[in-house]
Amino acid sequence: MSNATNVSELGKVAVLMGGQSAERDVSLNSGSAVLQALTAQKVDAHGIDVGTDILSLLQIGNFDRVFIALHGRGGEDGTIQGALQTLGIPYTGSGVMASALAMDKLRTKQIWRALAYPTPAFALINSENDLEAKAKELGFPMMIKPSQEGSSIGIAKVNSIEELEAAYQTARQYDDEVLAEAWVTGEEYTAAILGEEALPLIRLETPHEIYDYDAKYKADTTLYHCPCGLDEKVENEFKKLALKAFKAVGAKGWGRVDLFRDTDGKPWLIEVNTVPGLTDHSLVPMSAKQAGISFEQLVVKILQQTL
């Protein structure tokens, strides 16, 4: 099917961006890039900064489909997906259940563990009284994360009980559920998923101790290696594992799976992103480019999945 026939089939498209989550700024960048790319492909696309009136705007606008470029709560957690399903408007990416599950790092890891997929040891911190016990259980260093936040917001690597206390208080500002995860020493990779395929892996390299919000969006010292430098056989194994991990939470369409490779060469699954960043600097477009797919082709391919 050529793009020419498909573009008219796509009809009137709403690109949802912004929203009220902690990742609002990143989402506005993603949405603008998507809107520009779709318009360049002659798609009848309209950008909407999502507010409380979003459902009436979608109904009044008579949109045929929606491209979700919302990150974080309200856009990536099944909320908007459920609303669009109720309105009967097709949308990009994963459905309600998979979106809600993937947003929840704790429950994603519980599913992986049940399937015996490799993911670092973890524990839920219920209160300050839990800290010493969890430190004993997992040992230092460890990662502390809000269970349901994206863009590495509120995460920290901790090396002592004092650092753990401070990191717990910070993470608590974003979520009542705080996840502690055993630290993996090694290299960080990400696998972009498009349809039924994992695209070329990217290896992330940052002088920061962790790939945090600053390393992602502000620093110009972060390096992205694609090709990732892994042996082809190993890369294919990692890609297969990423695809299995993605499907385990019911995710579909497109997204990203983050993983580590420890010093023994073993892969460890970290999390699933069902609406990863879509700016020209983002990881999924970088991986797609390595696979010979331009940014404009990528966003049209994602949108075509709603037909």
113 among known catalytic residues: no
Residues 28 and 19: their CA atoms lie apart, in Å, by 8
| Contact predicate 203/189, CB 8 Å | yes
- Let me know the angle formed at the C-alpha of 112 by 106 and 114, rounded to the nearest 5 degrees: 105
Which one from 188, 235, 258, 296 is the annotated catalytic residue? 258
Residue 256: active-site member? yes
Kindly list the distances between the CA atom of residue 292 and the CA atoms of 192, 200, 288, 301, in Å, as whole numbers in the listed order: 14, 10, 6, 13
Which one of the listed residues 23, 77, 235, 296 is annotated catalytic? 23
- Which residue in 104, 277, 287, 296 is the catalytic one? 277
What six digits make up the tokens of 156? 């920290």
Q: Please say if 258 is a catalytic residue.
A: yes
Q: Of 64, 165, 172, 217, which residue is the catalytic one?
A: 217
Are residues 112 and 181 in contact, defined by beta-carbon separation less than 8 angstroms? no
Other CB atoms within 10 Å distance of the CB of residue 292? 8
List of E strands, the chain: 12-17, 44-49, 65-68, 122-125, 142-146, 156-158, 178-182, 186-194, 197-198, 202-205, 223-225, 254-262, 267-273
The SS3 assignment for 191 reads strand
* The one catalytic residue among 273, 282, 287, 296: 273
151, 213, 250, 255: which is the annotated catalytic residue?
151
Say whether 181 is catalytic.
Answer: no
Task: Report yes or no: 67 and 13 within 8 Å, Cβ to Cβ.
Answer: yes
Active site residue 271: yes
Catalytic (active-site) positions: 23, 151, 217, 256, 258, 271, 273, 277
